[in-house]
């Protein structure tokens, strides 16, 4: 059977795919919708796996007393490079957010300052500082679980949700930005509700 390639073209930084060619077999056209759906499902499963790891880190950070309920995982070629959580309290460092910590540790481990062949999975939508670090490290893809509003609900700064939204920063950043699909987003949102009794705002 002879099959032509399917080209998936991203539309902007949110990474929405659009089919731009048809898959054809010798005996006729194969359903493009089915092929694309299978691809999307595989991507969603992969994202769920790594996002779950980030959520586990968020819980771990609170249990250890290291910082707030946030986790981040840097992935390279389908392998976890580092898995980190918020270390603000442990390091007495207001910049030791999960994403920044993960980027620092990944750069050290890989011995490079550019992570252009890496992705980052964050349990929550990154704050402006973390988004800046993601952009500066040239990470190619960001997947996050909970929206910033979930963190705001338990006392975190409300500027997080508004500082970047509605601006050109997301569009200018040369990376795919995606909120996790389905259950991945739900388990990430639950982190804040389940840890608020154990975590005291610093």
Q: Do 32 and 21 contact (CB within 8 A), yes or no? A: no
Indicate the SS3 state at residue 124.
strand
99 is catalytic: yes
Q: Do 23 and 3 contact (CB within 8 A), yes or no? A: yes
Which residue carries 């918020």 as its tokens? Answer: 86
Among 68, 80, 129, 140, residue whose Cα is nearest residue 105: 80
Catalytic residue among 57, 99, 119, 125: 99
Q: Do 99 and 72 contact (CB within 8 A), yes or no? A: yes
Task: Round to whole Å and give the CA distance between 51 and 122.
Answer: 7
The pairing of beta strand 71-76 with beta strand 79-85: antiparallel
Q: Do 64 and 54 contact (CB within 8 A), yes or no? A: no
Query: How wide is the angle at C-alpha 179 spanned by C-alphas 146 and 89, nearest 5°?
Result: 40
Active site residues: 99
């Amino acid at each position: 059977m002879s099959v032509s390639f399917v080209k998936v073209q991203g539309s902007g930084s949110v990474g929405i795919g659009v089919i731009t060619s048809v898959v054809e077999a010798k005996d006729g056209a194969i359903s493009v919708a089915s092929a694309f759906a299978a691809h999307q499902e595989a991507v969603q499963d992969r994202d769920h796996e790594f996002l779950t790891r980030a959520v586990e880190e968020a819980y771990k950070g609170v249990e250890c007393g290291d910082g707030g309920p946030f986790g981040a995982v840097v992935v390279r070629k389908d392998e976890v490079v580092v898995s980190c959580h918020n270390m603000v309290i442990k390091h007495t460092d207001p910049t030791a957010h999960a994403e920044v910590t993960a980027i620092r540790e990944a750069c050290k481990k890989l011995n490079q300052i550019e992570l252009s062949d890496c992705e980052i999975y964050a349990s929550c939508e990154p704050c402006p500082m973390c988004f800046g670090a993601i952009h500066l490290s040239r990470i190619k893809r960001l997947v996050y679980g909970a929206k910033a509003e979930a963190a705001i609900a338990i006392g975190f700064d409300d500027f997080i949700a508004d500082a970047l939204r509605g601006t050109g920063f997301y569009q200018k950043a040369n990376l795919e930005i995606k909120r996790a699909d389905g259950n991945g987003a739900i388990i990430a949102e639950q982190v804040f509700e389940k840890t608020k009794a154990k975590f005291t705002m610093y």
